Amino acid sequence: MLIGLHMAFVAMAEEALDAVDESTVPDVLSRFPRQEVGARGQVLNTLNLVLDDGKAVVRLRAHLDRIAHVFRNVLRRYDYPNAGPHTSQAWSSHTSTLRAIFAFAPNERRAFAEEVWKLVVELPEHGRRTIEDAKPRPFEVVLRDFPNTQPREPAGAVLQGLAFAYFRADSPTVTIDTGKVGAGSRRTGRIGDVDGWHGAELALSVEVKDSDLTDPSDPDLGNFIANLSEWPDAVAIVLARSATEAVVEGMRNQNVLVLDRAAMIDAVLRWDLSKQQLATREFLHFLVHVQQHGGLIGRFRTFLASEGIEL
């Protein structure tokens, strides 16, 4: 606290003396009377010095606030107490220091300020948050950078795995069920490619279309919506590479959301690290235990290693 108070006394001296074109005064409180009553008639406990014209006032609290901003926010010395009101009211216990600072010659005030500054920089400096210091957010990286299905891989496997992983992490209150791509939802007892269940009740159903959707009347979309007729309260989602506004609007009119990787990334940016790690592990689980395609599994493991992602 005294560090800031002494530095504020120096700043007050520089402001007041510069305003009256003087370099030193022997007794500051005689030369610059203290303002004791505020504009609303309240008694002031802080130190406000009234200059010669009776209108200009040099305020201790204003300097304390600026000094605290520099110490804490610029220099990141967070051990410096943010206690402006208390410090400004404690000034009267340090009038001898106040008088000495105003009585100093300019070079003496500078030397005094430099000694106080040394005490400031001796306080521990707290580090900045940087992207480089943070662990990679793995599922964000996977969504953004892991390439889609490649030749000789099951078409749509990557996108379906991402859907499974995303909702497995984001919907912990439901049981997520899926299967290999191309297995056929009806034949395996599912409504969509990825379903979420509350017991026996369908809570979530995702239809994965590894294509660019342009036709709101696409029969595959119609079949998905027909499958949902028995489950009016289930959240219905179509996940595609991309979709035109006509498709998005057409699905919205039937209470179906349309997502793509970009939309998932926008949500995943707000996930904490452990949730992103869970989703990445679930994507690997899908590849290994559901899709079971060696080439795709190997490609994903290579990707994880290249990105420095450990699960």
Residue 130 has a pLDDT of 59
98: enclosing H helix or E strand: helix 95-103
- Reading the block at residue 274, the tokens are 């452990």
Residue 286 has a pLDDT of 98
Residue 186 has a pLDDT of 58
The residue type found at 192 is: G
Separation between Cα atoms, residue 141 and residue 304, nearest integer Å = 9
Residue 251 has a pLDDT of 95
Q: Among 247, 147, 231, 240, which residue's Cα sits nearest to residue 195?
A: 231
Which pTM value belongs to this model? 0.65
Residue 113 has a pLDDT of 94
Residue 301 has a pLDDT of 97
Residue 184 has a pLDDT of 62
Residues 6+ apart with CB under 8 A from 135: 273
Give the SS3 label for residue 1: coil
pLDDT values of the chain reduced to their tens digit, one per residue, 311 residues: 689 999 999 999 999 999 999 999 999 999 999 988 877 778 888 899 999 877 789 999 999 999 999 999 899 998 888 776 788 888 989 999 999 999 999 999 999 999 999 999 999 988 776 555 567 789 999 999 999 999 999 999 999 999 999 999 999 999 999 999 977 655 566 899 999 999 999 999 999 999 999 998 888 898 899 989 899 999 999 999 999 999 999 999 999 999 999 999 999 999 999 999 999 999 999 999 999 999 999 999 999 999 999 88
Give the SS3 label for residue 119: helix
Residue 1 has a pLDDT of 67
Residue 80 has a pLDDT of 86
